[in-house]
Amino acid sequence: MAEQKKLSGVAIGLMAFGPFVLYGVASGFNHWRVATGGGLVLCLIFLAVRLRRGIPTRLMDCTTLTFFVIGSVLMIGLRSTVFPAYNVVVIWSCFAVAAWSSVVIGHPFTTAYARENAPPEFWDHPIFIRLNLVMTLSWCGLLTVNVGFAVIGVIIGGNFGKLVLGFVLPTALLIVGFVFNSRFPARYLARSGYQGDGASPTVPG
């Protein structure tokens, strides 16, 4: 039963990437209305599945929804000719603003992911709070750098700007972030001398 629940959780987690997979494929073939509208539909399905299972909606889930709403309004509603050129800037800006905002209001967004793995009695522990602040600030920096890559990519233009600065480097940074997520929490808890069950934030998605 526990294994089935775990597999179900993994499936739901993979669903979070579905909208961006469709978005990447459709936009790659220049089908922007399919990319934004289809991504919005998949995002809504993902959120509906989480809500039906009683799983709380996280900040980055709402941020993904926000991006696809913006994209759908611009491409389907307004038939924008500007969005395709600046879409990568919009994507990373949405996530960077959301991440920094979570720090400003005192609720680092990685906390929601960490609580899925950490025991409730650890949630208010100073080490848990500091860990997630560090984790969130790391993602804030990563996402901000990706905004910079996207802006420079638009300015430079061409295949180099679109592929290298718009896709390759941001993707590489995301991989670095994933690796950081998998290793840093345990090391931080060990250095802090915490002996109980800790938190291991998952990849934001």
> One digit per residue, pLDDT tens: the chain, 205 residues?
434 444 455 677 678 899 999 999 999 999 999 999 999 999 999 999 999 999 889 999 999 999 999 999 999 999 999 999 999 999 999 999 999 999 999 999 999 999 988 899 999 999 999 999 999 999 999 999 999 999 999 999 999 999 999 999 999 999 999 999 999 999 998 888 776 654 444 444 4
> pLDDT value at position 199?
47
Helix ranges, the chain (H)? 2-15, 18-28, 32-52, 59-72, 83-104, 110-114, 126-156, 158-159, 169-192
Same structural domain, 199 and 140: yes
Q: Provide the residue range defining the domain that includes 53.
A: 1-59
* Interacting residues of 112 by C-beta distance below 8 A, sequence separation 6+: 56, 58, 59
Q: Is the pTM of this model over 0.85?
A: yes
DSSP conformational letter for 109: T
* Domain final residue, candidates 28, 44, 59: 59
Q: Are residues 100 and 173 in the same domain?
A: yes
| pLDDT, position 1 | 43
What gap in Å lies between CA 96 and CA 129, rounded to an integer? Answer: 20
Pair 51, 110 in one domain: no
The answer to the question of residue 68 being in a domain is: no
90 and 182 inside one domain: yes
The verdict on 51 and 86 lying in the same domain is no
Do 53 and 86 reside in the same domain of the chain?
Answer: no
Q: Token pair 């800790």 is at which residue? A: 198
Among residues 9, 28, 59, the one where a domain terminates is 59
92 and 171, same structural domain? yes
Provide the domain count of the chain: 2
